[in-house]
Amino acid sequence: MDNYNPAKMLEFSERGDERGNLVVVEGAIDVPFEIKRIFYIYGSDKDVIRGKHANRESEFVLVNVAGTSKIKVMDGKGNEKVYALTRPRTGIYLPKMVWKEMYDFSEDSVLLCLASTHYDGSEYIREYDEFVRIINGEAR
């Protein structure tokens, strides 16, 4: 479990002065891909679990630009790790083919999601058992 780390925490540079702070995130510079899609999640209750899927092609960077949340990442081989997003200048990079679950949203949470691909519903794996079979090379 200690060696398991498909995801990676990212720290973005923060600039600011007496007027406030500014965080810049640039595709292929601050994140390891060109950004093709941006969406955000807000208004989720603390007990709600979002995500619950893996992507065959898409990579993501998630940033809580307001509030906090947790991200559980699983590799389909029994390893998992939980990341806490608590500051608007940190994010988590999620490579393709990891299972992700977002949860424990604070009341003011706004979770920004940067994606490497345009939306294609066919590349989503929405059943964990299917994800495990694919990762382990097992036929259906």
Locate the domains of the chain by residue range.
Answer: 8-135
Tokens of 120: 């294609």
DSSP code at position 117: S
Residue type at 6? P
The residues annotated with a catalytic role in the active site are 53
Query: Phi and psi of 19, rounded to 5°?
Result: -85, -15
| Each residue's pLDDT expressed in tens, for the chain with a length of 140 residues | 445 668 999 999 999 899 999 999 999 999 999 999 999 999 999 999 999 999 999 999 999 999 999 999 999 999 999 999 999 999 999 999 999 999 999 999 999 999 999 999 999 999 999 999 999 998 66
Question: Do residues 69 and 104 touch, judged by C-beta distance below 8 A?
Answer: yes
**Domain spanning 8-135, CATH architecture:** Sandwich (2.60)
pLDDT at 140: 62
